[in-house]
Amino acid sequence: GAVVSQHPSWVICKSGTSVKIECRSLDFQATTMFWYRQFPKQSLMLMATSNEGSKATYEQGVEKDKFLINHASLTLSTLTVTSAHPEDSSFYICSARDRTAAYNSPLHFGNGTRLTVT
Amino acid sequence: EDKVVQSPLSLVVHEGDTVTLNCSYEVTNFRSLLWYKQEKKAPTFLFMLTSSGIEKKSGRLSSILDKKELFSILNITATQTGDSAVYLCGSTGNQFYFGTGTSLTVIP
């Protein structure tokens, strides 16, 4: 089945540094990938939609200069948390849809990246 | 290998029917079992289950967890066309693990 790989699975960084998270579709191509953040009540908040070859679309309230998204190829999107602060500590999750699948077909999720900012 | 498996993969029912969606899991350091309704881009949170045998209910939806047998079910009674969606089961342990989802179609 379709697999989405996220890397790293967990990372600890110091306040003020930047962290890059990768999201790869391993056996399919995705023109669109989504980035989410998990909040304490276990709901997933959509942060942005990553579009291959063009700028990402950010949801309201998400700082695009802080959460840099690059979708350089049909199988890779990256999320960079810049100048991280402790309040950025969270689970970050990506998902992708096979570009050949129907618009309402299931998304494939990565396993998430647990970011801890000290 | 940690995994979450959902069944059936797809389901077509008529309005008013009751449906049961299944989710089994094998997750290291299991913490919780989550159900989401996938709508547009962001899944809508439905339930979080951590204890066996305690049913959680919200309107026509209910869910229960069996930690001994490692599975959960999501029930939807008196289905409506608005219930048509992909229902995701996920589990938290060392990481997040999602199933492939069950695609539910409710026909008027």
Distance separating alpha carbons of residues A90 and A97, to the nearest angstrom: 24
Kindly tell me if the per-residue pLDDT of B40 is higher than 80. no
The pLDDT tens digits for B44-79 are 889 989 989 999 999 999 999 999 999 999 999 999
Cα-to-chain-centroid distance, residue B70: 13
List CB contacts (< 8 A) between A34 and chain B: 41-42
Q: In B, residues 12-71, which contact A (CB 8 Å cutoff)?
A: 32, 34, 36, 38, 41-43, 45, 48
pLDDT tens, per residue, chain A with 118 residues: 668 999 999 999 999 999 999 999 999 999 889 999 986 655 678 899 998 888 899 989 999 999 999 998 999 999 999 999 999 999 899 999 888 887 667 788 888 899 999 9
pLDDT at residue B3, rounded to an integer: 87
Kindly tell me if the per-residue pLDDT of B95 is higher than 80. no
DSSP A23-74: EEESSS--SEEEEEEE-TTS-EEEEEEEETTS--EEPTT--TTTEEEEEEET
